Structure 1
Amino acid sequence: MTAFEDLSLLRAFVCIVECGSISAGARRLKVSQPTLSRQLRALEEHSGVALLRRDTHAMCVTPTGQRLLTDARNLLAHADEADLRLREDQMELSGHLRLFATIDWGQWTVTPMVSSFLQLHPKVTVELALTNRPLHMLREGCDIGILPGKIADESVVARPAGAIVLHLAAAPSLVKKYPLAKKPDDLKSWPWVSISGFQFWSSKEVTLFSRRDTEQTLRISPILISEGLTSIREAALTGLGLAVLPDWLIAEDLRARRLVRVLPQWKAKDVPLHVVYAGQRLLPARVSAFIDFSVAYMTKELARYT
């Protein structure tokens, strides 16, 4: 038998260290002090080395004990998580979810996605916040975020959920006012409308890639900058300016020729979409289930446009 085959021995060791003494550990575990002492001795015998050094004044963890303490905590956390998942898998999902998403993607895709999830799990309720300034939403108590663009916060887990394809688009009325554009430089004199917010794409420059992997960056001075993609789309539809817009938002406009692609042989860089959540080890079943559901849902949704 090895030191890792009996989790009760590892749990006893961790409890003794965290409580500072065998007597305090016995009170926490609600066992007798002699029982806890026997468990510690058994663990040391299996380990073949002393894990704690004790005298009449103090108790200290040996270097080997310190290494075992780290491994034991990780192993016990995994065991507790597995046990919770096992029990939760046998229960109907319930409870409240707090979600956030960017405004336009949240209205167009996340809202029907959440509606589908709630119909599958009628004992779950959801609060959905729509914001294009999501920097501290997880710290403020949200469980999950749906975010396109860069994820700068290293404290969160970010699961990929597809990529958003961007197009240069304009109203036919605007295109008719200018000579046929054959290369990015031809667009320098065109008016632009653009999204604000660094995590999506820049409002001050546009980087385009050709089918031959040529790259070119245009500096632009938009006549309109808005936080909302739908707002930018509406401005483009009036003929106000040229815009970088996502395929999911303008697919129907392109089919109906209300908008047309400009320089179709060039494209902006795709924007990754992520489902983000706090980097904690143990997640409630409703949170884990929604993460898996949303990744699958949005990956399928975005694949419709590729």
Structure 2
Amino acid sequence: MNVFDHIPLLRTFVCVIESGSLSAAARRLNTTQPTISRQLKALEQAAGTTLLNRDTRRMKLTSVGHQVLSDAKSVIALVEASDARLQDEQAQIKGHIQCFSIIDFGQSVVSRMLAGFIDANPQIRIDLSYSNRPIRMIEEGYDMGIIAGDVTDDSIIARPLGRIERLIVCAPERLNGQVPQSPQDIACWPWVSLNTRQFGETSPLVLHHQNGDKQTITVSPVLTTEGVTSIREAVCMGLGVALLPTWLIKEDLLAKRLVRVLPDWQPQDISAHVVYPSSRHVPRRVQHLINYTTEYMASV
């Protein structure tokens, strides 16, 4: 038998040393002193040597006993930590979570994600709100949020979720036979844009070519709005050209309701994050949702 094969014997050994005597350890472990003595003897037999010199008045660790004590504490701590994680995973997640997301992403991708999370954790209740101003939502007490764009506020922890690709698109009839060759060709076209910089600059607009070239153009939007869904609707009606995220327009491109403009040119992708306050304790149910969000968004 290996000395570290039996955790209960190691617990007894550590308890004896911490308690200062066999009788004190017996009281602490709610057992008898003879039982403690037998367990120590069994541990020493496994070790093949004496670990604790003891007589009627005192006890003293041997050099090997010192090493076994140190290793036993490490082993017990590891076992307890592993057991705690296992119980934590098996315990049912329940409670209330206040979550927010950017408007359009929240109404589609985030809503589907939260539905899956609640289905897997039926005792969870979530309030989902929409906002393009994440700092304000955290200040109002929300537990977490899912946003696009960079986060620089020190009061918020931002865990990366990946990048959001955007494409230049318009309705087929908007092209009217035109085939633009460079970004400068579409600078004077009517644009439909977001009215917040959090999701990337629209004017001046920096576009990158597949070969590494870069051009900057200045555009004049005929319509600005807070949400990409309203931009999509306007562009589908032929109002103008716009930058739209691929997650929103995949079906439009397949159905040819929208077409790409300058397919070799794209703006820089936008970062996406799950955010939560740095100053507050994160409840286990919220941490579970944060982890779930990170895994879910990796597949979107």
TM-score by length of 1: 0.68
Q: Post-superposition, which runs of at least 4 consecutive aligned residues in structure 1 deviate over 3 A?
A: 81-90
SS at match of 1:224: strand
Match of 1:220 in 2: 219
Range with greater deviation from structure 2 (135-144 or 274-283): 274-283
Q: 1:117-164, CA deviations, whole angstroms, 9 ceiling, x for partnerless residues?
A: 001001110000111222221121111110011112122111111111
Match of 2:150 in 1: 150
The residue correspondences of 1:150-229 to structure 2 (distance < 5 A) are 150-176=150-176, 179-229=178-228
Rounded Cα–Cα distance in structure 2 between residues aligned with 1:245 and 1:194: 9
CA-based RMSD: 2.3
Percent of aligned pairs with the same residue? 41
Range with greater deviation from structure 2 (195-204 or 116-125): 195-204
Q: 1:247-305, CA deviations, whole angstroms, 9 ceiling, x for partnerless residues?
A: 0111110111110000000011111111111124742111111001011101111xxxx
Q: Is the 8 A contact 1:101 1:146 kept in 2?
A: yes
Q: Is the 8 A contact 1:196 1:202 kept in 2?
A: no
SS at match of 1:258: coil
Rounded Cα–Cα distance in structure 2 between residues aligned with 1:274 and 1:253: 26
Rounded Cα–Cα distance in structure 2 between residues aligned with 1:106 and 1:83: 37
Q: Is the 8 A contact 1:89 1:285 kept in 2?
A: no
Match of 1:60 in 2: none
Match of 2:36 in 1: none
- How far off its partner does 1:204 sit? 2.6
- How far off its partner does 1:104 sit? 0.2
Rounded Cα–Cα distance in structure 1 between residues aligned with 2:251 and 2:89: 41
Rounded Cα–Cα distance in structure 1 between residues aligned with 2:119 and 2:187: 49
Q: 1:31-70, CA deviations, whole angstroms, 9 ceiling, x for partnerless residues?
A: xxxxxxxxxxxxxxxxxxxxxxxxxxxxxxxxxxxxxxxx
Match of 1:267 in 2: 266
Rounded Cα–Cα distance in structure 2 between residues aligned with 1:279 and 1:83: 28
Q: Which amino acid in structure 1 is aligned with residue 114 of structure 2?
A: V
- How far off its partner does 1:90 sit? 4.2
- How far off its partner does 1:88 sit? 3.8
SS at match of 2:135: coil
Match of 1:108 in 2: 108
Rounded Cα–Cα distance in structure 1 between residues aligned with 2:83 and 2:277: 21
Rounded Cα–Cα distance in structure 2 between residues aligned with 1:271 and 1:144: 20
Match of 1:288 in 2: 287
SS at match of 2:137: coil
Rounded Cα–Cα distance in structure 2 between residues aligned with 1:115 and 1:208: 36
Q: Is the 8 A contact 1:193 1:241 kept in 2?
A: yes
SS at match of 1:138: helix
- How far off its partner does 1:202 sit? 2.0
Q: Which amino acid in structure 1 is aligned with residue 167 of structure 2?
A: H
Distance 1:91-1:230 versus aligned 2 partners, 3 A rule = same
Distance 1:133-1:156 versus aligned 2 partners, 3 A rule = closer
**1:299 matched to 2:264:** no
TM-score by length of 2: 0.70
Unpaired segments ≥5 residues, structure 2: 1-80
Rounded Cα–Cα distance in structure 1 between residues aligned with 2:83 and 2:280: 13
Match of 1:68 in 2: none
The residue correspondences of 1:35-46 to structure 2 (distance < 5 A) are none
Q: Which amino acid in structure 2 is aligned with residue 94 of structure 1?
A: K
Unpaired segments ≥5 residues, structure 1: 1-80, 302-306
Rounded Cα–Cα distance in structure 2 between residues aligned with 1:98 and 1:266: 39
Q: Which amino acid in structure 2 is aligned with residue 226 of structure 1?
A: T
